[in-house]
Amino acid sequence: MRGESEGRIGATDGRCLAGFCTARPSRRGGPPASGVPVESSRRAGRSSVGGDRALQVAFRSSLWGLHVCLGVALAVAIGGCADHAEDRIRTEVQALTLAEGEAVQSAADRVAAHGRRALPAIEAALHTADVAGRKNLVIAIRHIGDADGIPLLLHLAAFDAAEDVRREAAWTLRSWAAGGGDRAERARAALRRLDELRHGEEAG
């Protein structure tokens, strides 16, 4: 009797024998799990968790790679646009150095539309342009109207070999000096420096 009672208790209290669960009642009222290997169940659970983690890592790696690719593509596109803009500026500055008559003002306006970004190309063109071309470049600097062009104007006003170019550059400095703000102050300082240079030449 006692053995039969223990057998019945063993059959219903959820104990496991030889790695198998024998009719453990579900605490949540669900059907009992019968005949499921414990270790197999645990390994399956660990395998599922490990698989989920692997998928998460793979997804994050793919997402990071996508961000890198997009960043590289954007940088290449921006660099290409910048190169194209610089080429266009150089082309328009070169065209300005060759312009004559009524075409000068429109060519200078096209260069001035680029703002201070055109100043490096103008400075480079000053080394090879003829007298008329250098005067045209001074007009472009005046149309740009940026104070960063003052050093170029001072250099031209002081040292250019052609009197027409020197006069055009000095006139631009005087017109800017008559205004207000930082550009006017810098232009007045440039004119003072120009006077010093001229007096130094006369004394020498």
Per-residue pLDDT tens digits for 113-170: 999 999 999 999 999 999 999 999 999 999 999 999 999 999 999 999 999 999 999 9
The CA distance from 135 to 151, in Å, is 16
Could you tell me which residues come within 8 angstroms of residue 40 by beta carbon, excluding any fewer than 6 positions away? none
Give CA–CA dist 19/34, Å, rounded: 12
Whole-number pLDDT of residue 84: 81
Would you mind telling me the total number of residues written for the chain in this entry?
A: 204
CA 113/CA 122 separation, integer angstroms: 13
Domain count, the chain: 1
Query: Residue 193 falls within a domain, yes or no?
Result: yes
Kindly state whether residue 121 falls inside one of the protein's structural domains.
Answer: yes
Which residue range is the domain that position 186 belongs to?
86-203
77, part of any domain:
no
Name the H helices within 17-102: 38-98
Asked if residues 118 and 146 have their Cβ atoms less than 8 Å apart, the reply is no
Which pTM value belongs to this model? 0.61
